[in-house]
Amino acid sequence: MADFDLHEATTPEGIMTTDAPDTNGIMDATEPINTTDLAADDFSFGQRYHRATDTSDVYVTRQRRPTQSIVGTRECPICAETREAFEFPKLSVTLSCSHPPGVCLECLRTSIRCDFNSKLWTEIRCPECREVLEYADIQKYADEATFARYESLALRAAMAEAENFIWCPANCGSGQLHDTGADQPIVTCLNCSQRSCFTHNVVWHERLTCKEYDALLRDPENYLMRLDANGDEAERAKRAQENADRIIAQSLMAEQEAEAQLKEERERDEREEKQQAIALARKVASRRKEEEQKSRATMSKTTKACPGCGWAIEKNRGCC
């Protein structure tokens, strides 16, 4: 046989209750159940059915206890007020309750709200027998605001069971799947962009790896002392490195200055050599021009133009 729930079903014909002891909230099949004045959905709310494997019979294996009276007035054992019967639950608060419902609906709502505000959300109990209420019970009897908060926590718990799912520890209300898991533990929230640690489910521990953060959690005082000591050592190493860097920088600067000075001297020598070459060329050109002028003067005194070709000729004998 297989168990199944029928939360919104009516009680079908041919369904019979099984013989069961009066413990754990299971009704005894020998007790008469007056269902005439109970709505079908009230009667079947959260009850369990068992189907036979060899026949088509269905058996009720777990059923809520009905109220002792659905008419007239009754006194609530918690607030001690006399109320109309419709102000009380028609059936036992939980499937595990072994007693008919005695507390009024108002006190039941108050009890659920108080348990939710002062205990774990999974520890909301019946105010009479302290049996734990299930999701369907709280949905039926809690006030709207309390159930909304309860449902949110239930959803968060269900989602937290998913592999590699993490809620944002910054309480922005967002959660997401982190496929790489603890292999790459930094998670960036898609809603608020807060970085968090997948392994520890906290805001990301800056400057600490996950192993270092584990060491901090195991021995916070000594770890912080070691961290301070390591910090002093790191500070000394940092200062030494800065001094070495400064010396290297000064050496490089001196080399650069010497190279720049050498380059400047080289350029100056090149300029001087160029100027000397220009001066020498001008001097040579001037002397050549002067020599040419002297040569032309001498030629004009000692030669005359040939009457035939015009070339300068020099007469060394003969008549004038």
150 and 64 housed in the same domain:
yes
Domain that holds residue 172: 163-211
Q: What is the mean pLDDT of residues 30-55?
A: 49
pTM of the complete model: 0.44
77 and 154 housed in the same domain:
yes
Q: Would you tell me how many other CB atoms lie within 10 Å of the CB of residue 278?
A: 10
Which DSSP symbol is given to 50? E
Alpha-carbon gap, residue 33 to 52, rounded angstroms:
22
Provide CB contacts within 8 A for 72, sequence distance 6+: 84, 85
- The pLDDT value recorded for residue 212 is 84
Alpha-carbon gap, residue 247 to 236, rounded angstroms:
17
Provide CB contacts within 8 A for 26, sequence distance 6+: 20, 61, 62, 63
Q: Would you tell me how many other CB atoms lie within 10 Å of the CB of residue 185?
A: 19
Does the pLDDT value for residue 121 go beyond 60?
A: yes
79 and 172 housed in the same domain:
no
Residue 8 lies in a domain: no
87 and 169 housed in the same domain:
no
86 and 156 housed in the same domain:
yes
Q: Would you tell me how many other CB atoms lie within 10 Å of the CB of residue 186?
A: 13
Per-residue pLDDT band at 48 (split at 50, 70, 90)? low
Which helix or strand (DSSP H or E) is residue 231 part of? helix 220-302
103 and 114 housed in the same domain:
yes
Residue 33 lies in a domain: no
126 and 70 housed in the same domain:
yes
174 and 225 housed in the same domain:
no
153 and 62 housed in the same domain:
yes
168 and 157 housed in the same domain:
no
Structure-model confidence comparison of residues 22 and 317, the more confident one: 317
Provide CB contacts within 8 A for 104, sequence distance 6+: 76, 78, 79, 81, 83, 87, 88
Q: What angle do CA 108, 112, 115 make, to 5 degrees?
A: 135
Number of structural domains found in the chain: 3
Does the pLDDT value for residue 27 go beyond 50?
A: no
N- to C-terminal Cα distance for the chain? 163
E strands present in 202-251: 202-203
For the record, the structure tokens of 88 come out as 């009380």
Which of the residue ranges 8-17, 76-85, 242-251 would you say has the lowest mean pLDDT? 8-17
- The pLDDT value recorded for residue 250 is 80
Residue 177 lies in a domain: yes
Q: Which residue has the tokens 């009066």?
A: 22
Torsion of CA 259, 265, 268, 274, to 10 degrees: -100
Which helix or strand (DSSP H or E) is residue 138 part of? helix 135-141
Residue 311 lies in a domain: no
Q: What is the mean pLDDT of residues 280-298?
A: 87
Which of the residue ranges 88-92, 125-129, 265-269, 306-310 would you say has the lowest mean pLDDT? 306-310
Cα separation values, 104 from 25, 62, 88, 94, 100, Å: 19, 23, 4, 14, 12
- 64, 46 Cβ separation under 8 angstroms: yes
